[in-house]
Amino acid sequence: MSWQAVTLGELITSHWSGHSFNSADYTDTGTPVLTKGDIKPRGIIEHGTRFVDPELIEAKSIKLTTHKDLLVSTRDLTTAANFLGLVAKAPNSEAYAVNQGVTVFRVDESKVDRDFIAYWCEGEFFRGYIKCHYAGATQIHIRHSDLMAAPVRLPTMRVQRRIASILSTYDELIENTSQRIAILEEMARRIYEEWFVHFHFPGHEHVRMVESEFGPVPKGWCLVTLGDVCAYINRGLAPKYDDTAQGIVINQKCIRDQRLNLAEARRQSKTVPQEKFVAVGDVLINSTGVGTLGRVAQVLEPLESCTVDTHVSIVRPSKELDHDFFGLALFSKQPNFEAMGVGSTGQTELSRGRIADTALLLPPKALQDQFGLSVRAMRHLSVKLQAVNRNLRTTRDLLLPKLISGELDVSALPEPGAVAA
């Protein structure tokens, strides 16, 4: 099959760079702003917390993205360049402003399928080019001329669309599964809040409220600390990394959105004390760092030979606590953990003592168990769906380089509908 060699610049009809916003321009609401850090690998966009006043957008005639645009990150903080030159499709949901670390461009759709070029830019050929052509020493960047000279190989439009259709099927399945996971997790959190924050638990009408340090609470509930009710609270170990080893170590990157992302875990060969192996029910808390401090995730499935590094604390409930109640109770305290770090030699840190001193309003065991029965099935389904997504991502990532290089003949592959089935 013959593929045409062109440059990225030959496919682009228009482009513009993001606006140089000042820190004072950002607000809590308004027009959302995408930064270089919001563009992730696999063409994923995760909008952070940056917004600007719509009046500023109008006053300075700042351009906004459309559903036809592509975004590329043009700056990176490290010379590894892992986040430089990442390309993603602009979101369909709404228009965004972009800052100076992002360039927006639009392709000539008579020459190239927009989805195909986004996938091409994920491939090793394009990524390798970017890593060889950055400028700068600390905060590196890609020059516009170098970006436009990036090589692209194009099959026929029919093949482009077929390749994009196959890969899009996987992305849609991953997105749909992610939405199901988010719904299940939100349902469990809402039930927790209804029962243990608003005190609308089953039978609450027949329970008298009494005064406490937290204000009125149901009679029979007691105020304890995590140190009172946990079997173990401690940091992990300094790992000895070895990609061929059996042991798995969870680091700060693994804890995000109140769940474990094991794709970020690393392997290590160091001997691990038994108490530092994570167990089902353990809550893991990021305990150092700026921006990651206080993030919480719970272990909901057996993880063989798995520990955590020194930046993560294991908080293990006693056998008397319902694990689902315990996990969601600590999720609700994530803002407290984020605010409890103590500055030490420039490092933000959450000590074991501060975790142990954290207050917890403890309902009777029978109510904990009833709550666990109410949410356990949805939480375990969420874990199973996360495994489904890991498998989908693995398959997608194996297919992508073979498809965009022409190694796989798309005519021999099943239709996207058959892949989804």
Residue 192 has pLDDT above 50, yes or no: yes
Band of residue 415 on the pLDDT scale cut at 50, 70, 90: low
Residue 118 has pLDDT above 90, yes or no: yes
- Token match 């029962």: residue? 195
Stated pTM of the model = 0.85
For the chain, give the percent of residues with pLDDT over 90.
80
More confident residue, 382 or 258: 382
Band of residue 207 on the pLDDT scale cut at 50, 70, 90: very high
Lowest-confidence pick of 79-93, 144-158, 175-189, 367-381: 79-93
Residue 221 has pLDDT above 50, yes or no: yes
Mean pLDDT confidence for 92-107: 93
The terminus-to-terminus CA distance of the chain in angstroms comes to 29
pLDDT in tens, 363-376: 999 999 999 999 99
Give residue 137's pLDDT.
81
Give residue 343's pLDDT.
58
What are the CA-CA distances from residue 148 to residues 9, 10, 105, 142, 271 (Å)? 4, 8, 11, 10, 50
Residue 405 has pLDDT above 90, yes or no: yes
Domain 222-362 has CATH 3.40.50.300: no
Residue 420 has pLDDT above 50, yes or no: no
Band of residue 16 on the pLDDT scale cut at 50, 70, 90: very high
Domain 4-154 has CATH 3.90.220.20: yes
pLDDT in tens, 228-279: 999 999 999 999 999 899 999 999 989 988 888 888 899 999 999 999 999 9
Structure tokens at 3: 């593929």
> Which contiguous run of DSSP H or E holds residue 267?
strand 266-268
AA identity, residue 390: R
Give the DSSP letter string of 176-245.
Answer: HHHHHHHHHHHHHHHHHHHHHTS---TTGGGS-EE--TTSSEETT-EEEEHHHHEEEEEE-B---B-TTS
Determine the Cα–Cα distance for residues 25 and 155; give it in Å rounded to an integer: 44
Give residue 212's pLDDT.
87
Give residue 335's pLDDT.
86
Residue 20 has pLDDT above 90, yes or no: yes
Which of these, 119, 117, 84, lies nearest to 102 by C-alpha position? 84
Band of residue 342 on the pLDDT scale cut at 50, 70, 90: low
